[in-house]
Copies of this chain bind each other. A is one copy, B any other.
């Protein structure tokens, strides 16, 4: 049951990485309920996936289960946190103090697990100094200074689409390694920077696609 060093075991598939947070959350819940041991079956149910997948996913982290028993919830939680880097502190900067930026800054659950919003920036002088989630909005022109001095590693883009690429470039130039983009635009970053996007319009359009199909099944008139 020895801990394995991070990184030097076989590569963890992307799909697995994307599920680890689900297990993490599920384990937090079981912890609150005082459960000390979980089976892959139970964990699968809580995370909404297949039990075999849970086992395979967890096996990438190491052999942390006990056959015939299950996984020690607390220990497994610790291992996943370690793997995800949640035992560390990740300073986050939010660029864009509009509705979305403010909502994100106020979002609980950021600070909770290692992610700490250390600055909210905006290019609009009107917004400067406005208090958002206990922080005064700062100038976008101070980006580089802020990122360096506060050791920011993650940047969140919550600007209108037309500003997103410029912001991304500035974040990358300032040394940020990860970007979460909420702007409805394609942004490109160098390969050594991680980028993920959250796109409301896209999500709705996907839903609309399937909704349309169902509607057509109910009353199969000629489309349009």
Q: Which A residues are within 8 Å of any B CB, using their own CB?
A: 5-7, 17-18, 20-22, 24-26, 46-48, 82-88, 90, 92, 99-100, 102-104, 106-107, 109-110, 112-115, 153-154, 177-180, 184-186, 188, 192, 194, 196, 198-217, 222-224
Whether A178 touches B83, Cβ cut-off 8 Å, given contacts A99-B106, A205-B20, is: no
B186 touches A46 (CB 8 A): yes
Q: Are A154 and B48 in contact (CB under 8 A)?
A: no
Using Cβ atoms and an 8 Å threshold, which residues of chain B touch A114? 208
Q: Are A211 and B153 in contact (CB under 8 A)?
A: yes
Q: Give, as a whole number of angstroms, the nearest-CB distance from A141 to chain B.
A: 25
Tell me if A201 and B110 are in contact (CB < 8 A). yes
- Report yes or no: A48 in contact with B99, Cβ–Cβ below 8 A: no
Which B residues are CB-close (under 8 A) to A18?
202, 206
- A204 and B7 form a contact (CB under 8 A): no
Distance between A89 CB and nearest chain B CB, rounded to angstroms: 10
Copies of the chain in the assembly = 2
Contact B113 A201 (CB under 8 A): yes
Residues of B with C-beta under 8 A to A92: 204
Interface centre among A18, A200, A206, A207 (most CB of B within 10 A): A207
- A46 contact set on B, CB distance < 8 A: 186
Is the beta-carbon distance between A99 and B107 smaller than 8 angstroms? yes
- Please name the residue on chain B nearest to A161 by beta carbon: B109
Chain B residues, Cβ within 8 Å of A198:
198, 200, 203
* Contact residues in B for A113 (Cβ distance below 8 Å): 201, 205
A216:B7 contact, CB within 8 angstroms: yes
